[in-house]
Amino acid sequence: MPREAPLQRAGHGQAPSGQGWFVLNARDARWVTGVFGSFTRFEGDPPFDFIGVNIAVLEPGQPSCYYHAENEQEDFLVLAGECRLLIEGGERLLAAWDFVHCPPWTEHVFVGAGDGQCVLLGLGSRIGREVVYPASELARRHRASVTEETRDANLAYADLPPDVDAPYREGWLPDR
């Protein structure tokens, strides 16, 4: 029978310790911030085995990562604000409650849009770990592309400063 995983201090927030079920409010979770926005993954040690879950907060014009495609399904739900979806060489403007399904090998990235922050829920399979970062002129215009295609995430992000722990900032998430 699964046991409750205790929560422990992680950065400025909390994260589960060990295997088991847990309840953790997003405002109390460990947050990090960097070039690609502020986000929480809800994970501790060990990380989740099968499904990755995160909430990203993007400022207008801020990409969520580099334009990429993975060998696994990913799904996204815009919780608040607006963002621009760059997908398969095209783009779409998204608003709260728009859902995006990316089957395996769908090239995509999100870029904050509008006048305020965008809050984006992301879910992705963790069974496979193959990824490609194509060089994309469209994504480059939004500061969301590598200069040369690579399948190595460490190489893709090598020139960027690491994300840093950050306390949850009031206003990142919609009111309760």
Q: Per residue in 101-124, pLDDT tens?
A: 999 999 999 999 999 999 999 999
Whether the bond between 47 and the residue before it is cis, its omega within 30 degrees of 0, is no
The residue type found at 159 is D
Annotate the chain with three-state secondary structure. Answer: CCCECCEEEECCEEEEECCCECCCCHHHECEEEECCEEEECCCCECCCCCEEEEEEEECCCCECCCCEEECCCEEEEEEECEEEEEECCEEEEEECCCEEEECCCCCEEEEEECCCCEEEEEEEECCCCCEEECCCHHHHCCCCCCCCCECCHHHHCCCCCCCEEECCCCCCCCCC
Q: Per residue in 19-64, pLDDT tens?
A: 899 999 999 999 999 999 999 999 998 889 899 999 999 999 999 9
Whole-number pLDDT of residue 129: 82
**What CA–CA distances, in Å, run from 133 to 68, 88, 104, 122, 144?**
4, 12, 14, 18, 10
Q: Per residue in 51-105, pLDDT tens?
A: 999 999 999 999 999 999 999 999 999 999 999 999 999 999 999 999 999 999 9
Which domains can be identified in the chain, with CATH numbers?
A: 26-160 (2.60.120.10)
pTM to 2 decimals? 0.94
The yes-or-no verdict on residue 158 having pLDDT over 80 is yes
